[in-house]
Amino acid sequence: MIKPDFSQPVPADLGTVHFIGIGGSGMSGIARILIGMGHKVTGSDLRDTSNVAALRELGATIHIGHDASHLGNPDTVVVTSALWPTNPEYLLAQERGIPVLHRSAALAYLTTKHRLVAVAGAHGKTTSTGMVITGLLRLGVDPSFVNGGVIAELGSSSASGKDDLFIIEADESDGSFLHYDTAVALITNVDPDHLDHYGSLEAFEAEFGKFAQGAKEFVAISSDDPGAVRVSNLIQNKRVIKFGKAAGSNVQLSNIDASGAKVSFTLEYEGADYSATLNIPGEHNAINAAGAFAVLVGLGFDPAKSLEGIATFRGTERRFELHGTNRGVSVYDDFAHHPTEVAAALNAARAVVGPGKLITVFQPHLYSRTKLMHREFAEALALSDQVVVMDIYAAREDPEPGVTGQLVSDSFDDAQKVHYVPTWDDVPAVAAKLASDGDFIITMGCGDVYRMVPALLDSLKD
């Protein structure tokens, strides 16, 4: 894992920029904006993804695989935390004295001279950021933005707008969210995560407190999430807009109907009620909408028009995204990788699937998270009718002896509903055999499990 280093001066002119790991949602979003600014962009990634293809169409030169020969002769290099410090392109850039910027430093550079809205939280960031962006566009504002996922309606995760607002998804996993010059902070929740980095829950919440305190204009924060409530108590002499179901919220959420494919709800703000129906399911998305609404009204926009704009949001890639149907079985993909996210996603899916079975193909992410939360994962995944647990997507961590996906499967109370399948190529056939007409299969996790969708559809057909 490469940690953010904000001591590296940002060059006055970035010149030609090489991205190591350019295909990630955040990295590709930054690259897209730099291309729009006239910079020559090169990069490398492990796989030839849709993000890579889109950047190539815009003129970027991208190599597949990491090799020192792929570095070329850039003026600046941008890296992501997911890289190993032994990456050959990274090592060569350091050897040659080329300025190496962490992704968050490059993003901070882009937001300079803008009025920054930074969205943080253990989960809900990408959707909430997308809702804020969509609402602003519907209100006639042209913001710049970098989101953690492609906004379905826009077909992009980033854009360079003409107005002064810049909306970003701010990453708390490595503490980099503290380095932005934030005007407005939206905190979706402070559910415990990334404790391998922070060391303790208290330290995790303290960093969120610093993030909130650093917002120059106001903070929008959940009134329901216990961690967010504790963080609220750390905020001093700051305008705070609390949103949620809790009594006394500035934006009060009520009348939630999450029983179908679209969630409906009412928001009370300054004595008036505003109702909406979203194009996406789940109570968690009603909460996300309340947070986005808090940001827009806090910025001074009309409440009714703000909620009307938010309600047009159609989701982002890898958030309960339908990829196809074979033999009457619908195959979805979802990014959920924390027990709270998993439970929220499966509750939403349950409301849509009706009488059919819900079959989840789950890929745990990180050895540290799996070791710490395997029981919580089992409890959340048990909302499915059947679960196929894969082995762990390691990302930035070394393997830990005894920590595998089996930790999750062994934690199920009902062993009849879980299947531990550690070999990738065996998973599609196992999942397809469990499914029948009217069922849903959902691949779930923030690793590369989404790549299994075509094989699942083929297995269903066969």
169: domain CATH number is: 3.40.1190.10
Comparing 8 with 255, the larger pLDDT belongs to 255
Give how far Cα 242 sits from Cα of 211, 218, 278, 314, 368, Å: 16, 11, 21, 25, 32
My answer on whether 261 and 355 are in the same domain is no
The verdict on 229 and 277 lying in the same domain is yes
Same domain, 81 and 148: no
Are 272 and 228 contacting, i.e. CB atoms less than 8 angstroms apart? no
Q: Does residue 237 fall inside a structural domain?
A: yes
Write down the H helix ranges in 162-278: 195-198, 201-213, 226-232
Structure-token pair, residue 310: 């938010």
Residue 270 resides in a domain:
yes
Query: Among 53-57, 179-183, 330-334, 349-353, which stretch is predicted with the lowest mean pLDDT?
Result: 349-353
Judge whether 7 lies within some domain.
no
CATH number, position 335: 3.90.190.20
Q: Which residue has the higher pLDDT, 308 or 178?
A: 308
pLDDT reported for residue 7: 73
**In a shared domain, residues 289 and 351:** no
**Among residues 89, 169, 283, 376, which one is catalytic?**
169
Q: Is residue 404 part of a domain?
A: yes
- Same domain assignment for residues 285 and 374: no
CB 238 within 8 A of CB 219: yes
Of the listed ranges 256-265, 390-399, 438-447, the one predicted with least confidence: 390-399
Active site residue 125: yes
In a domain, 193, yes or no: yes
pLDDT band at 225 (very low <50, low <70, confident <90, very high): very high
Q: How many CB atoms lie within 10 A of CB 361?
A: 28
Pair 353, 256 in one domain: no
Tell me if 9 is assigned to some domain: no
Catalytic status, residue 245: no
DSSP-derived secondary structure for 4-27: P-TTSPPPSS--SEEEETTTSHHH
pLDDT in tens, 43-81: 999 888 888 999 999 999 999 999 999 999 999 999 988
Q: Tell me what pLDDT residue 10 has.
A: 84
Cα–Cα nearest to 452, from 299, 266, 356, 324: 324
Among 63, 80, 102, where does a domain finish?
A: 102
**Per the domain annotation, does 430 fall within a domain?**
yes
Q: What is the pLDDT of residue 333?
A: 93
The question of whether 461 is a catalytic residue gets the answer: no
Averaged pLDDT of the chain: 91
Shared-domain flag, residues 136 and 283: yes
416 domain residue, yes or no = yes
Distance CA 435, CA 328 (A): 9
Residues 74 and 121 in one domain: no
| Same structural domain, 361 and 261 | no
Largest CA distance in the chain: 63
Kindly state the helix (H) or strand (E) to which residue 135 belongs, with its residue range: helix 125-138
Domain boundaries, position 403: 321-461
* Structural domain count of the chain: 3
Give the pLDDT of residue 192: 67
In a shared domain, residues 121 and 214: yes
Q: Which of 49, 80, 126, 370 is catalytic?
A: 126
What's the pTM value of the predicted model, to 2 decimals?
0.84
186 and 59 together in one domain: no
Q: Last residue of some domain: 102, 122, 137?
A: 102
The per-residue pLDDT for 378 is 94
pLDDT in tens, 188-221: 999 766 555 556 778 888 999 999 999 999 999 9
pLDDT at 204: 81
Please report, for the domain that includes residue 64, its CATH number: 3.40.50.720
Span 81-106, pLDDT tens digits:
878 889 999 999 999 999 999 988 99
* Whether 183 and 207 share a structural domain: yes
Lowest mean pLDDT among 291-295, 319-323, 426-430, 456-460: 319-323
Residues 187/121, Cβ–Cβ less than 8 Å: yes
Band of residue 3 on the pLDDT scale cut at 50, 70, 90 = low
Mean pLDDT of 163-184: 88
Q: Of 250, 283, 310, which marks where a domain is finished?
A: 310
Q: Which of 49, 111, 125, 127 is catalytic?
A: 125
In the predicted structure, residue 311 carries a pLDDT above the cut 80: yes
